[in-house]
A and B are shown apart, each in its own frame.
Chain A
Amino acid sequence: MKILVAVKRVIDHNVKVRVRADGSGVELTNVKMAINPFDEIAIEEAVRLKESGKASEIIAVSIGDIGSQETLRSAMAIGADRAVLIQRPADMILEPLDIARLLQKVVINEQPDLILLGKQAIDDDCNQTGQMLAALLNCAQATFASQIVMDGDAIQVTREIDGGLETLSMPLPAIVTTDLRLNEPRYATLPNIMKAKKKSLDIINIDEMDFSPLGQVKTINVSEPKKRTGQCTILSNAAALVSELQAKEVI
């Protein structure tokens, strides 16, 4: 079985983002970037499927500027066999539907049996790409996966839903998007990081792909959210808290 994993380069989740003063977006220069945490989980899951003999090859794919090579190298250090980068100019804006359309081309080219994506990227917080790709490929989808079990020609996926959990069975090829509880990604060891440098990374320039962005959604402005007062009144005991809350009429 061949697995395709889509990964995105995002601002590291520990970084406190700063909104640019001109409202054009958040500051990205000189900010630490990393692989999107949900995508790291997707790679880890693919590697585990390979280690258990269920998968034969893992291809990591990313769509981004030249810096995304680094993200693909981290994916290969975790255990992806090879990588494909669709390189776009740094200032080209792609929406989730554009990403899904580009991934669709990769899928048609690579013919994977299983496609893993993170459930959302921690920068745009969209939670759309996997579902959109499933729509374009007209295949089954399982979002927010917390468990994946291979079952012959089908897969069983346990999903996290608002009321609890549900388990679906679906034919391959299928799309699965990962939730945080699917697994604990391993740390890439130094020898594996060295090995990843030798693995194949194909770079396809987006200009060669017969593709133009849809441009349906325009970001007009990015602003700071309203700050909370930041004034925390420290109380000495619970009785004082109860009378404060009663005075505020919240209890």
Chain B
Amino acid sequence: MSQSLVLVIVEHDNQTIKSSTYHSITAARDIISAGGNLHLLVAGSHTAAVAELAATIEGVEKVIMIESDALEGQLAEPMSSAIISVAQSYSHLLFPATTFGKNIAPRVAATLGVAQISDITQVIDEQTFIRPIYAGNALATVQNNGNKVVVTVRSSAFSGATETQSPAPIEEMVVKNIPQHSQLKSQSLTQVSRAELSSARVVIAGGRGLSSGENFTLLENIADKLGAAVGASRAAVDAGYVPNDYQVGQTGKIVAPDLYIAVGISGAIQHVAGMKESKVIVAINSDPEAPIFQVADYGIVGDLFEILPEFDKALA
């Protein structure tokens, strides 16, 4: 199978393309490095602007666009059905390993009767991939022997594709009779003006040690100076300090920034699984025995309420 035909499913919000898609495109380009073609699929209720943007990404040869009111809210059942309508001719279907991709990819794979490989972090060849298991405590090399490869791509493991000057052609497809089971009732999105957690170059994250949601402003001040995103441990999310989409960990977001600053985070396995690929890790914690110091490059043992203002001042 040296001539792979790869389709990347674009994650978007009707206006912009999520950064996760750019990372998935890099994984797709790794797959076709032995020969093949790369197409993107933009499916949704408002796709024109997104498709034009998608067409400018480097390495993309064609953008397929499926626009339908039935895809409003991008729910799993209609989206799977739309994707399956074009899937047959492709050897590979790639989704970002975000809540968007994880929700839809297995449904598509099962309908096609093929396996799905989750959260790949490396492409060995067109059929072989590396993925973490046991919260990242082991790496499995897996080979797909089915007649189609359906994978989700861990963003933090691949660089983001860039844009080019010569846009690829856009082909609009009409799909009729898209089934709808569920209805979207409401959506509440967290408004964040800072860098996006999963693609930020610097992340500063707080844990239970912050003691309250208000104290997260201490992190936000520093984040603004560093151009960083703010994250949190599960403990901080469960305590209600910050919304759940701040969570870094096995069951939250997986990040691999250049610099990760863990403040008041003990370093449970679950959390470390989400950040241990960061280039430089800093831990600020009052407990010198905290497991976070085992993965940190730099540490300060002490009261975060004294250290954070100092840190803030030292950056000025």
CB-CB contacts of B105-135 with A at 8 A, as 1s and 0s?
1111111011111110000000010011111
Q: How many positions in chain A have a CB within 8 Å of any CB in the partner chain?
A: 83
> In the bound complex, do residue A244 and residue B298 qualify as a contact, i.e. CB atoms below 8 Å apart?
yes
- Contact A132 B106, CB 8 Å, known A168-B184, A214-B146, A239-B310: yes
Q: How many A-B residue pairs have CB under 8 A?
A: 260
Main secondary structure of the interface of A (DSSP, over half): mixed
Interface residue? A100 (CB, 8 A): yes
Beta-carbon nearest neighbor of B270 in chain A: A13
CB-CB contacts of A207-227 with B at 8 A, as 1s and 0s?
000000011111111111100
> In the bound complex, do residue B184 and residue A166 qualify as a contact, i.e. CB atoms below 8 Å apart?
yes
Interface residue? B218 (CB, 8 A): no
CB-CB contacts of A89-116 with B at 8 A, as 1s and 0s?
0000001110010000000000000000
Q: How far is the CB of B231 from chain A (nearest CB, A)?
A: 13
- Contact A11 B134, CB 8 Å, known A140-B77, A223-B139, A234-B300: yes
Which chain B residues in 60-95 approach chain A with CB under 8 Å? 73, 75-77, 80
Please, how many angstroms separate the alpha-carbon atoms of A223 and B136 in the complex?
11
CB-CB under 8 A from A233, the residues of chain B are 297-299
> In the bound complex, do residue A17 and residue B134 qualify as a contact, i.e. CB atoms below 8 Å apart?
yes
CB-CB under 8 A from A26, the residues of chain B are 133-134, 137-138
> In the bound complex, do residue A134 and residue B282 qualify as a contact, i.e. CB atoms below 8 Å apart?
no
> In the bound complex, do residue A140 and residue B139 qualify as a contact, i.e. CB atoms below 8 Å apart?
no
- Contact A135 B80, CB 8 Å, known A164-B190, A238-B311: yes
- Contact A248 B280, CB 8 Å, known A131-B76, A218-B145: yes
Interface residue? A84 (CB, 8 A): no
> In the bound complex, do residue B310 and residue A167 qualify as a contact, i.e. CB atoms below 8 Å apart?
no
> In the bound complex, do residue A163 and residue B109 qualify as a contact, i.e. CB atoms below 8 Å apart?
no
CB-CB under 8 A from B98, the residues of chain A are 162
Please, how many angstroms separate the alpha-carbon atoms of A232 and B313 in the complex?
24
> In the bound complex, do residue B183 and residue A169 qualify as a contact, i.e. CB atoms below 8 Å apart?
yes
Beta-carbon nearest neighbor of B137 in chain A: A17
> In the bound complex, do residue A225 and residue B138 qualify as a contact, i.e. CB atoms below 8 Å apart?
yes
Please, how many angstroms separate the alpha-carbon atoms of A60 and B198 in the complex?
36
Q: How far is the CB of A70 from chain B (nearest CB, A)?
A: 20
Which chain B residues in 161-208 approach chain A with CB under 8 Å? 181-190, 198, 202
Interface residue? B37 (CB, 8 A): no
Interface residue? A203 (CB, 8 A): no
- Contact A222 B139, CB 8 Å, known A26-B134, A132-B106, A245-B259: yes
Name the one of B99, B132, B243, B269 contacting A144, with C-beta atoms under 8 angstroms: B99
A1-9, A61-69, A71-79, A117-125 - the one binding chain B: A117-125
- Contact A242 B251, CB 8 Å, known A127-B118, A132-B107: no
Interface residue? B46 (CB, 8 A): no
Q: How far is the CB of A109 from chain B (nearest CB, A)?
A: 19
Please, how many angstroms separate the alpha-carbon atoms of A17 and B269 in the complex?
11
Name the one of A181, A225, A238, A242 contacting B139, with C-beta atoms under 8 angstroms: A225
Interface residue? B226 (CB, 8 A): yes
Beta-carbon nearest neighbor of A223 in chain B: B139
Interface residue? A126 (CB, 8 A): yes
Please, how many angstroms separate the alpha-carbon atoms of A164 and B237 in the complex?
12
CB-CB under 8 A from A143, the residues of chain B are 76, 99, 102-103
CB-CB under 8 A from B117, the residues of chain A are 217
Interface residue? B258 (CB, 8 A): yes
Interface residue? B49 (CB, 8 A): no
CB-CB contacts of B127-162 with A at 8 A, as 1s and 0s?
010011111111111111110000000000000000
Name the one of B132, B140, B145, B300 contacting A238, with C-beta atoms under 8 angstroms: B300
> In the bound complex, do residue B185 and residue A135 qualify as a contact, i.e. CB atoms below 8 Å apart?
no
> In the bound complex, do residue A166 and residue B128 qualify as a contact, i.e. CB atoms below 8 Å apart?
no
Beta-carbon nearest neighbor of B238 in chain A: A181
Interface residue? A87 (CB, 8 A): no
Interface residue? A136 (CB, 8 A): yes
> In the bound complex, do residue B282 and residue A238 qualify as a contact, i.e. CB atoms below 8 Å apart?
no
Name the one of B103, B136, B142, B226 contacting A217, with C-beta atoms under 8 angstroms: B142
B contact residues vs A (CB 8 Å cutoff): 73, 75-77, 80, 98-100, 102-111, 113-119, 128, 131-146, 181-190, 198, 202, 226, 234, 237-238, 243-245, 250-251, 253, 258-259, 269-270, 276, 279-283, 288, 293-301, 307-308, 310-311, 313-315
A-B contact pairs, 13 of them (CB 8 A): A26-B137, A125-B133, A135-B106, A144-B99, A159-B99, A166-B73, A168-B75, A168-B185, A219-B140, A232-B299, A233-B299, A250-B258, A250-B279
Q: Which 10 A-B pairs have the closest CB atoms?
A: A140-B181, A131-B106, A132-B110, A216-B146, A238-B310, A135-B110, A128-B106, A238-B311, A170-B182, A216-B115
